[in-house]
Amino acid sequence: MVDLVHRLSLVNPRTIKYTGKLSTVFTEEQDGEIISLESEDKWSIKIGDTIHLKKNPYKVNHIDKAVTEHSAYFLLSTARLNLSSIFALPFLSEKRSFYLWDLYFINAFIGTCLEDTGEVIALLYRFSGDKKFIDLESHLTHFPTFKKRIDLDPYHVLYIFNPPKACRASYQKLLQSKYSEIDDLWKLSILQFHGFEPGGRTGKVLFKSESLKKQLEKDLDVELGDAELHSCLDMNLEVFNPDIYLPAPKIL
């Protein structure tokens, strides 16, 4: 256990990195996905477990092995960044840095399964008593579109907003996974929010790039016709579910 604790580091509010000696760690896979790690040092991690790092709990829903030119490591993630965080969050305006993206922001959602909130933009955060976070919360709760704050547990808080009127039409297009039909001004706002170039992957999806279409048709061996150049929203990922994000009973 000591080896495990000293080999963990925070990547972002969703993900922890394990950088121990991988030759001593054995993986179990199912359907091509890693579902557990077991070390010669007598510790193990499996999907659904919760790890405490600096007193904060991180539920492990994904385990990925990463290999670079100089290192190899495991990434233990609660969730991967979802499409609502890419496309819906910018509808609330401000810059990405304003939302403390790298410090406390976990994911955005276009709905929740907690209650009948209707069509919303919800932001999930790791709670902190840090002044930066307290200041952010003050700003968020004063947004004209702010609906409510839900304290999920001592470590997680959810902020719920109505979609701003100015983006309602584009928000509806997003719900229908019609990315290319989002208003052009909002497309540019989305790219600017994330610092993406129009010629990058997200820009090509939003503006339905002919080059991306041809590449996808070649890779997938299909005729796309007038289809969108990205898969449809998966509501299992885009609607907040506490069973996914909140700590499991077993704590490592």
With 80 as the cut, is the pLDDT of residue 117 above it?
Answer: no
With 80 as the cut, is the pLDDT of residue 249 above it?
Answer: no
**Alpha-carbon distances of 184 from 10, 89, 91, 169, rounded to whole Å:** 36, 16, 13, 12
How does residue 1 score in pLDDT terms, banded at 50, 70 and 90? very low
With 80 as the cut, is the pLDDT of residue 116 above it?
Answer: no
With 90 as the cut, is the pLDDT of residue 114 above it?
Answer: no
Mean pLDDT (the chain) is 93
Q: Is 24 exposed, middle or buried (0-12, 13-18, 19+ CB in 10 A)?
A: exposed
Q: Give the pLDDT score at 3.
A: 60
Mean pLDDT for 36-58 is 92
Q: Give the pLDDT score at 4.
A: 75
pLDDT digits (tens, 9 = 90+) for 162-190: 999 999 999 999 999 999 999 999 999 99
pLDDT digits (tens, 9 = 90+) for 16-26: 999 988 889 99
Distance, in Å, from the CA atom of 148 to the CA atom of 195, rounded to the nearest integer, reads 29
Mean pLDDT for 74-86 is 97
pTM of structure: 0.94
With 90 as the cut, is the pLDDT of residue 69 above it?
Answer: no
With 60 as the cut, is the pLDDT of residue 2 above it?
Answer: no
Residues 6+ apart with CB under 8 A from 23: none
Collapse the DSSP code of 199 into the 3-class scheme (helix H, G, I; strand E, B; otherwise coil) and give the result.
coil
